[in-house]
Structure formats: C-alpha cells, structure tokens
Amino acid sequence: MMAKPQGRGHNQFFWHDTDMPFIEARFVREGRNIRSDRHTHDTFSIGAILRGASTCKMRRAKHELTTGTVIFINPEDVHDCHPLVEQGWSFQMLYVDTAWLRDVQAEDDADDGGKFAAFDPVLSQDPMIFAELTRLGRVLADPDVPVLGKETAATSFFSLLSTRAGRGRHRGQTQRKEIAGGGVGGAGQTEGRKLARVADYIRSRCEEPLRLADLCQQADMTPSALVRAFGQQYGITPHAYLTNCRIQRARHALKRGERIVDVALECGFADQAHFQRVFKRQMTATPRQYAQVLCA
C-alpha cells in the first residue's frame, strides 16, 4: 500500500510506504524553527541541505552545513541540529534500515565482514551524491512512481554511495569489478539470458504491481546487481522498462477505441489522472489527444 506524505503543517512532511518498510523520508521546506536536542537514530540517516545553513554537533566536533552539503549520520551517532536563524534552512532526510543497506553494501564489496559498514565522512560536498540523493527524495515522494521504481532508485543510489563515499579500501576493488564487467551491453551470455528473462517477465505482467524481489527471483541476482546489469544491457532501469511496456500496451488499447479510464486500470496505473500524466510525459500528448489523432 503506497502511503501519501504524512506530517503536520505545510512546512514539512514525512513519506513512508508499507511496501518499503526499510526507508523513510522527511522533507522540510522552511526549518527556521526546527532544531533538535542531542539524540541518536537506530537507522542510517543521510540528509541534503537544499537551502540555507545550520550547525550540527556530532563525533566530538561542531560542523556547519550549507546549501549543497550532504550529512552522514551512522546509527547511534549522538548529534543535534540548529539552524542559523538569519538564513533559515530547508532539507531532506532519509532514514534507512541497516539490514537492508548492509545487503547493498555486501553486493558492492563495501560491507564490514557481513555487517553494516559505517560511513567515514560526516559531511560531503560531492555534487553527484547531492544530486542523486535529492533525486531519490523526489522519486520517493512522487505518487506517480510505483514501488518498483522507488526500490530501483533506492538501490541504485545506495550502491553508488557505498562505492563513492564508503571506506577507501573498498572503493578501488569495486571500481575494478565494474571495469571488468564491461559497459553497456557488456553482460556475459549467461547474465544476458537472465536479464532477457526479467524483461520477458516485465512485459508479460506489466499490468501487475511488480516488486524488485520478483525480478531478482527471475534472474537469481541480488537487487543491486540486477539494477546495475539491467541498466547496462537495456540502457534504462527495470522501472522505466515497466513504464514503457505499460504505455505501449495503452497505445494499442487506445487504437482499439477503449475508454481512457478502462485503459488506465487495465494497464496497471493507479487511476486515470496518473495514467494521463505518465502518458503525456512519454508521448508528449494526452491519451485523449492521441486517440483523437488516431480517429481523425
């Protein structure tokens, strides 16, 4: 069941989904009055400062967070946060279950002997990490993106994070593995057959609410390995592939003169409004415009 943003007031809201219990998001548009006393989390927390500035005391030091900063808070790291009132601040935070994140790290050879590997930095100014983190936040909060799309985006981001901001001794090893694996279309024959099974599975069941676990079972691959390999083989994520299959099926249904509301539901969209938004983004025309052209 997909959850809508939860929260009090218009300045902040929380996102969570019962189908993705391993991750939660918090978005603060204006945090001038949002400050916290010293506390800890039992999750790994990562935040992006979208505007303004604040200070944070953590790991026996005081840190200043400015626009573009990413902060890493490992489980049980004692910390507090105080905005610089004259500037205010807006930010997003993700709270991630360490058991789920450990599995992503293990796939990327970045775990700590089968345990969650704490991140070394407190702050990062890496523009790629910032951009991809804020993108993930938008994906999670977007009601038009189904669970598969959110799972794929989360797996991709934290796989990137484990190689780009993890412990140094793992970074080179992972890069060598990626280079050895080849670029786009570089999957071996066995892996290629596995990915073809996944693509066939998506096409044949594109109207269903597929999960990343379903696709991993088809390929006998871990989530991060599947997302990476699928992107190399097909040039898009499994979620994007699913969306494309749904839109193509919808096009054929519209050609047959089926009602837009029926097409939306038959092709796996939550409702007609959701279908129309996705269709227009991909086809640069609304379903009604498309159908009218066909009938002209």
pLDDT tens-place string over residues 21-54:
999 999 988 877 777 778 888 899 999 999 999 9
What pLDDT score was predicted for residue 294? 55
* 16 and 160 together in one domain: yes
Q: Pairing relation of β-strands 123-124 and 61-66?
A: unpaired
> Rounded to whole angstroms, how far apart are CA atoms 269 and 267?
6
Q: Which two tokens stand for residue 107?
A: 């796939």
Total tally of structural domains belonging to the chain:
3
> Rounded to whole angstroms, how far apart are CA atoms 76 and 39?
8
Domain harbouring 136, CATH code: 2.60.120.280
* 136 and 201 together in one domain: no
* 251 and 227 together in one domain: no
* Residue 215 domain boundaries: 182-235
Q: Which strand (E) or helix (H) includes residue 37?
A: strand 36-39
In a domain, 76, yes or no: yes
Q: Is-contact 27 92, C-beta < 8 A? A: yes
* 23 and 103 together in one domain: yes
Residue 30 zone, left/alpha/beta (φ > 0; ψ -120 to 50; rest): beta
What pLDDT score was predicted for residue 11? 82
Give the residue carrying structure tokens 């050879």.
109
> Rounded to whole angstroms, how far apart are CA atoms 250 and 275?
9
* 46 and 111 together in one domain: yes
What pLDDT score was predicted for residue 182? 36
What pLDDT score was predicted for residue 217? 96
In a domain, 2, yes or no: no
β partners of residue 276: none
Alpha-helical runs (H) found in the chain: 98-107, 127-141, 147-164, 168-181, 189-204, 212-219, 223-234, 238-255, 260-266, 272-283, 287-295
What pLDDT score was predicted for residue 188? 67
> Rounded to whole angstroms, how far apart are CA atoms 102 and 82?
30
What pLDDT score was predicted for residue 81? 84
Alpha-helical runs (H) found in 49-146: 98-107, 127-141
State the DSSP code for 29: S
DSSP characters for 241-261? HHHHHHHHHHHHHHHTT--HH
In a domain, 171, yes or no: no
Last residue of a domain, one of 138, 164, 190: 164
What pLDDT score was predicted for residue 5? 52
What's the chain's Rg over C-alpha atoms?
21
In a domain, 26, yes or no: yes
> Rounded to whole angstroms, how far apart are CA atoms 275 and 267?
9
Give the residue ranges of the chain where pLDDT is below 70: 1-10, 166-188, 293-296
Residue 45, φ and ψ in degrees, nearest 5: -120, 140
Q: What angle do CA 73, 23, 26 make, to 5 degrees?
A: 70
Sign of the dihedral through C-alpha 116, 117, 122, 128: negative
* 138 and 78 together in one domain: yes
In a domain, 223, yes or no: yes
* 49 and 16 together in one domain: yes
* 134 and 220 together in one domain: no
What pLDDT score was predicted for residue 178? 34
State the DSSP code for 27: E
Domain harbouring 262, CATH code: 1.10.10.60
β partners of residue 6: 14
What pLDDT score was predicted for residue 296? 41
In a domain, 176, yes or no: no
What pLDDT score was predicted for residue 184? 38
> Rounded to whole angstroms, how far apart are CA atoms 82 and 111?
32
